[in-house]
Amino acid sequence: MRVAIVGAGCTKLGEHWMKSLRDLSTEAGALALKDAGIDGKKIQSLYIGNMSAGRFIGQEHLGALAVDQAGLNPIPATRCESACASGALAFRKAYLSILSGEYDIVMAGGAEKMTDIKGSGAIATLMGAGDQEWESSVGLTFVGLYAIMAKAYMEKYKLTRKELSLVPVKNHKHGLNNPYAQFNYEITTDDVLRSPIIADPLRLLDCSPITDGAAAVVLVSERIAKKFKNPIWILGSGQASDTLALHNRKSLTEIPATKIAARKAYEQAKVKPKDIDIAEVHDCFSIAEILAYEDLGFSERGKGKELLLKKDAMIGGRIPVNTDGGLKMGHPVGATGIKQIVEVVKQLRGEASNQVRNARVGLTHNIGGSGASCLVHILGRE
């Protein structure tokens, strides 16, 4: 049995002072249903990714909230949490529920409302994805953890600070025409290097923003997919875990969970890294994108910067990465994994704002925390 995506929708990403979490999740679901051209009453089950609504807005029980607001009671609804990879986890669970034979039409969504608390509160909440006892309790933040990884990588592989700046420069350029993006402006390497240091060597423009937003997709069984025009097929799905605390890792310059999840997805899809036409990777901080190039097999270890220097990761290059601008254009943590799926679906349909010519196979890569969890999905069109 195969599973296809037949509808996809994403809200505008940003600071939504006049919209609640329920508003955003309902909007994304409505967009996905409209895109699929089906009535919501046909949805048989719903999975929603959300990292920390309890701490961000004081709302738990997100599955019940989402299905209630969408008017879809009494279908089963499940909240999925895997830190910043919560959206991709919801997608995988929806996919597996159809493969099991229990459902034919399922919605997977993700939503996060992050701006209703002060910045310091948001940072503390996000650190819930790290090791509370050994990391957050002693003052570490995620930018601090990724700064440690960046320092180790720069020392080992002689990556310069200017070369690292090429990641946000590329992603801002890609996000310029993205209608969902939180930011729509280009930057230069000088802009990155002049921006304030947050955790050396990472600067403000190396960091993804605090974001409100939601995204949703409609998945159907192969039997149902035949009724839809231009379905996008799920070719592979991989998930893996690693130590929660960074200090327990064998290496600071790679993320093993990515390598394992990717290997599972490649094997299931029967493709290799060279077969990927486009990729959405988890660039929460600039160094994370370079690690992803190597962990996903797009580059040899220590040579990820070559994709940037040769412009291979740009639209028009060998493997365009983050064609919508990636997480730098908005990172509503629970929704990010679904937002990535939406972009790849649009690319494979030929409907993207920054369209890659003849794209047939796309990959999404969603990380939880500093790499304690990872999900990789491979999509394709016929």
pTM exceeds 0.85 for this model: yes
What is the spatial distance between Cα 6 and Cα 33, in angstroms, rounded to a whole number?
9
Tens of pLDDT, residues 55-114 = 999 999 999 999 999 999 999 999 999 999 999 999 999 999 999 999 999 999 999 999
Single out the catalytic residue among 16, 172, 174, 331: 331
Domains of the chain listed by start with CATH number: 3-118+211-232 (3.40.47.10), 132-207+234-380 (3.40.47.10)
Beta partners for 239?
A: 375
Q: Is the pLDDT of residue 119 over 90?
A: no
Single out the catalytic residue among 80, 84, 207, 284: 84
Q: Which residues contact 101 (CB under 8 A, 6 or more apart)?
A: 1
Measured from the Cβ of residue 47, the count of other Cβ atoms closer than 10 Å reads 28
Tens of pLDDT, residues 170-203 = 999 999 999 999 999 999 999 999 999 999 999 9
207 a catalytic residue:
no
172 a catalytic residue:
no
Tens of pLDDT, residues 206-227 = 999 999 999 999 999 999 999 9
The span from the first CA to the last CA of the chain, in angstroms, equals 16
Contact 320, 278 (CB under 8 A): yes
